[in-house]
Structure 1
Amino acid sequence: MSSLPVEVLLGIYLGLLTGIVPAFVAGALGFLVRYVTGVTLPGFGVVVLALAIASINGGLLILADDAIINSPRLLMAVLVVLMLALYAHSQGDKLGAELPRRVSFTSFRKRTLSADVVEFVGTVGQVTVRPGGEVRDMEGYPPLPQTLRTTIRDGSWRLPADLPLSELEVRLEERLRTDHDLADVSATIDEQGRATIAAAPPSSGLSRRVPEGRRAVSIDALVPTGLSRSDAVRIVTADGTVSGTVLSARGSGDDSPGDLESRLEPETATDGGVDDDAVPAVTPSTATTAGGEGRVTVAVSRRDARTLLSADRGRIVVQSRGTSHEFEALSLLGRTGQTVRRVTVGADPPATRPDEYDDVTILAVRRQSAEEENRRRGWVFAPGIERRLEAGDDVFVAGSESALDRFVEETR
């Protein structure tokens, strides 16, 4: 008979050999019972089941060697089998309790970013998303130009970090589609903020920016410095003056070294314009011309298009867009130390007429009382002294901060 340490090792080996199947059955059964019924399978039942299954495997070994019955290794093997079965049962029961009973594909998409990549600006979490590799082409579309592919590959985008990855992917696709005017784009973001991007180049250039009912016409002219897309211009020709909106422009100053980024979008090549591959793409919102002799493409009506087509050259006059008078008024009030605030009149205002409030000017009033239900509802600007303030009225008032604070306290 072998020594005790050898018998213990042989018992452990025998228990591992015969306890794999009972442990698997105990774990699976514990998981199914807890997941389906919500009840934990009793440990005594697990012990009986494990011993029953292990006896089948162990019986074959006993037939091969009768000395196993009278040796300590049998007791050690039984202990190992029971330990494996109980451990597997506890893990299966734990998994059955934690696994959600209603699983949908939406729950799998609600993955969030790893906490390691979140940057906090104050109390707001943000993440910087960068491409995780080369920008792939989309099937069914032409390949991306190399300059545009490099621009997207080297770019980065800051997005809110409290959104699931599926929403971040949608926002990144919208950002790419807007910034680069892509025909189609698909983006996938992992937990580390790395994006896998597939994009298609713009399917059209100039035709997409021409408003409905308008025509795009190019004409040679002296291009003003700083001319940008969407500027309102007048083109003076020998046959008349035409008003239009700039779609693209290119001057002689754009050809000088260092001014390539000042050029408007080169994809708007029209009868004599530049080729798309000759110049890099530029962000449309900041592109301006460097001035000089060149060509301008404008959107005009059909009748005015004939006038430009019959002219060999024109003179560009840029029209002013004007300034918002509302912002001018607020700016003037700010210079005098006054601000504007919207206030709702309380139930019992101490004064009833607009001229009875000191240091406060009432700019507009909107009546909320029931007696004017049949009248026209809306704001009344510069109300007269005969229009009394009533409970529930919305008013816009102007004055100093201290005067407005007193007005708010009085009208509560």
Structure 2
Amino acid sequence: MPASSLPVQVLLGLYLGLLTGIVPALVAWGLGFVFKYFTGVSIPGFGVVVLALAIAGVNGGLLALNDAAIRDAANGTALLIAIIVVLMISLYAHAKGDAMGSSLPKRITLKSLTERTLSTDVIDLANGRGKVHVTVAGDVADIEGYPALPQDLRASIRGFAEDVDADRPLAELEVLVADHLRAEFDLSEAVVRLDERGQATVAAAPPIAGVSKRVPDGTRAVSVPALLPTGLARGDEVTVVTEANGTFEGSVVAAKSDGAKAETAAAPAETGTDGQSPAPTPAPSSPTTTGGDGRLTVAVDRAAARTLLGATVRRVIVRSRGTRREFELLALLRRAGKRFRRRGVRAGGDLDGRSLREAAVRDEYGVAVLAVRDGGRWQLAPHGDVTPTAGADLIVVGTRDDLDRFGREVSS
């Protein structure tokens, strides 16, 4: 049979390369993915070339045996082009399999596959770490069973905006934003629904308790008139000295000097040397007294509450709390780049029903579990045999990245 022209040989080589290169490409992709995913090792390119040529040779031989016309028409040019096409397809498939094996998460669950994520268009990477600007969209709804929101509080919540990390699923971001709303506006309850563009739909309930939620268990709140020191705030420990009934120790749950306007009013602006008024001093985050006569609400023991109600207060002494050891510990950990977080054990997660030693929390996630609360009782410095169950609370310490990964894969 006369030899074919060069264009025909080129086309025949491309045809044979595509036809015989499908199986080597699939094998190269599968081996590259499996080795990279399970061992973290990439197969050398030379091994892929040898394997692809071997499989393609078997395919080409079987094809030539079945079709004599191809065997007679093909010459060295067509075979060379076919080999090049097979190698190119196999190496490309191997590179794709290797890349997929390195990027695919090691633990895949049905929940992770169905989790909603943020759109990449709204993620800001200017600061080196993905952030998304969360704003409240639409009106703030009321929660059934709770009182309606006052209009001023509703407007304040509508103006809420915050930048949060974008490397979390939307379900975790919704819980995070709801916690921030409850902390900032002292809400009784908040429900947040985020869409893919970071727009939050919020339903909230107003605060339904004031002093009562700050009174510790087993104590009673008693209000007495007294001469108050300047700067007294909630949480301060005081000693109330009476004229005939002795002294009483307790913690301040509320305090107000006579003349409430003086307590929150900003200092009058002074004119600077350039003729412009400087910015007013911002109000303190925690209300404090301005000194002078006022009323003090203090939490005392139940037995002392009735006696203090009928007593005449001579003076109020603020007790020094000194430098607390827990704050020193926090400062040391922060200087070392560590942070504290409170996490809950997720049902079906790595820690649900497994001991801390079996889950290898320190080796696997790089965090240390300092305390576990399971069944309503805290256990400090838990040993490796402690087995948390779904719903248990953990106090963990580690770097920000390790804590974020621990939160995504283990906790709720």
User: TM-score scaled to structure 1, two decimals?
Assistant: 0.45
User: TM-score scaled to structure 2, two decimals?
Assistant: 0.45
Q: Greater CA radius of gyration, 1 or 2?
A: 1
